[in-house]
């Protein structure tokens, strides 16, 4: 796998990437028994502990910058938690061991284990609150503006992709708060592709030619926005976000976490400050990007994963003894 400029790369090396890939595989496999059990906290706990155990064996000094579960008090990899052996590269980690816990607990599609890793000090320390987002792939990089109307962004992306608006597909989470965006897409003549949860998947899809998604817009979790931005940065795509504190406590939380101007618009280079980063994900249930965990005969389990580093995308399947 060809990675970014080897002379400048600090963390994008094969061994470190494979270590984190195994951590995502273990989290997915540990969560597998909880698919369809209507118990998302147990699923989250199983995935979290498997991922934590493996990451603590990695030669690195890691800090969790984006953790999961802060809002609903589910089991979590805690913000500012230290991971690794204490030897090796210093890295920021953005993680969700079970992204889409509600989906997988109901036996539905698109749940996955995700990790983004970057050089220390590179990832935005985003609180667990809402973020307005817009994402596009490499061919439309520099053509999106979160402060412009959706109509303007659709026309701009269509021009960059050399498409008519009617041939553009815009992915939006199916929520009442997005009804205005959905209607605006329809008015431009573009197509809407709705999804229920896990906007990380939709954001990444904009950067993959194999998937018919050109633009993602809407409001979702800020931590997921950072992870999506890291994946798109690795792909050469584009992402912008704007935090939406809903009260004074959330506004102050931003300031406490090192964001002095919570109402500003963040570019992808402000959310992920270094090109020295990578993204790994493993499917738990079948989804837009990945196949879910499969239980095989002879106590084996098969996982399907995605690695994105330095513009290189690698999909892999892994078969191992049951965990």
Of 293, 305, 302, 281, nearest in space to 109 by CA = 293
Query: What's the whole-number mean pLDDT along residues 270-296?
Result: 96
Q: Do residues 250 and 170 share a domain?
A: yes
Given pLDDT bands bounded at 50, 70 and 90, which one contains residue 19? very high
Angle, in degrees to the nearest 10, between helices 14-31 and 40-55: 150
Residue 291, in any domain of the structure: yes
Q: Do residues 34 and 82 share a domain?
A: yes
Q: Do residues 41 and 172 share a domain?
A: no
DSSP 140: G
- In the chain, which residue ranges form alpha helices assigned H by DSSP? 14-31, 40-55, 101-105, 150-161, 179-188, 199-205, 222-235, 248-256, 268-271
Q: Do residues 134 and 76 share a domain?
A: no
Give pLDDT, residue 3.
37
Residue 143, in any domain of the structure: yes
Q: Do residues 115 and 19 share a domain?
A: yes
Torsion sign, CA atoms 279, 285, 287, 291: positive
Per the prediction, the chain carries an average pLDDT of 91
Q: Do residues 69 and 100 share a domain?
A: yes
pTM of the model: 0.93
Q: Model confidence over 297-311: pLDDT tens digits?
A: 888 899 999 999 977
Helices and strands (H and E) in the chain: how many: 9, 14
Q: Model confidence over 148-195: pLDDT tens digits?
A: 999 999 999 999 999 999 999 999 999 999 999 999 999 999 999 999
Q: How much is the CA Rg of the chain, to the nearest whole Å?
A: 19
> What CATH number should be reported for the domain holding residue 192?
3.40.190.90
Residue 185 tokens read as: 């897409």
Number of domains composing the chain: 2
Q: Do residues 137 and 259 share a domain?
A: yes
* Main-chain dihedrals φ then ψ at residue 7, nearest 5 degrees: -70, -30
Residue 134, in any domain of the structure: yes
Residue 208, in any domain of the structure: yes
Q: Do residues 291 and 171 share a domain?
A: no
Q: Do residues 31 and 102 share a domain?
A: yes
Residue 102 tokens read as: 């509600």
Structural domain harbouring 266: 130-271
């Amino acid at each position: 796998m060809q990675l970014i400029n080897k002379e400048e790369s600090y963390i994008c090396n094969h061994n470190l990437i494979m270590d984190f890939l195994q951590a995502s595989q273990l989290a997915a496999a540990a969560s597998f028994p909880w698919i369809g059990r209507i118990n998302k906290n147990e699923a989250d706990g199983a995935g979290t502990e498997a991922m934590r155990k493996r990451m603590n064996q990695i030669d690195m000094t890691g800090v969790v910058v984006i953790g999961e579960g802060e809002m609903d008090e589910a089991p979590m990899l805690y913000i500012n938690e230290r991971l690794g052996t204490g030897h090796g590269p210093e890295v920021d980690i953005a993680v969700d061991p079970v992204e889409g816990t509600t989906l997988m607990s109901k036996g539905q599609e698109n749940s996955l284990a995700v990790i983004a890793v970057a050089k220390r000090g590179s990832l935005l320390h985003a609180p667990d609150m809402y973020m307005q987002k817009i994402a596009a792939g490499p061919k439309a990089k520099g053509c999106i503006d979160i402060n412009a109307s959706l109509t303007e962004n659709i026309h701009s992306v269509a021009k960059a992709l050399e498409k008519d608006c009617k041939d553009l597909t815009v992915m939006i989470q199916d929520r009442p708060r997005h009804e205005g965006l959905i209607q605006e897409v329809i008015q431009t003549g573009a197509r809407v592709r709705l999804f229920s949860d896990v906007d990380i998947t939709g954001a990444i899809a904009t950067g993959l030619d194999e998937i018919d998604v050109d633009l993602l817009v809407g409001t979702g979790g800020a931590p997921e926005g950072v992870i999506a931005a890291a994946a798109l940065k690795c792909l050469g795509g584009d992402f912008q976000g704007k935090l939406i504190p809903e009260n004074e406590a959330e506004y102050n939380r931003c300031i406490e976490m090192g964001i002095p101007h919570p109402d500003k618009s963040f570019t992808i280079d402000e959310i992920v400050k270094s090109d020295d980063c990578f993204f790994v994900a493993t499917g738990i249930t079948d989804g837009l990007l990945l196949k879910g965990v499969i239980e095989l005969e002879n106590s084996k389990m098969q996982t399907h994963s995605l690695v994105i580093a330095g513009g290189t995308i690698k999909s892999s399947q892994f078969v191992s003894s049951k965990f």
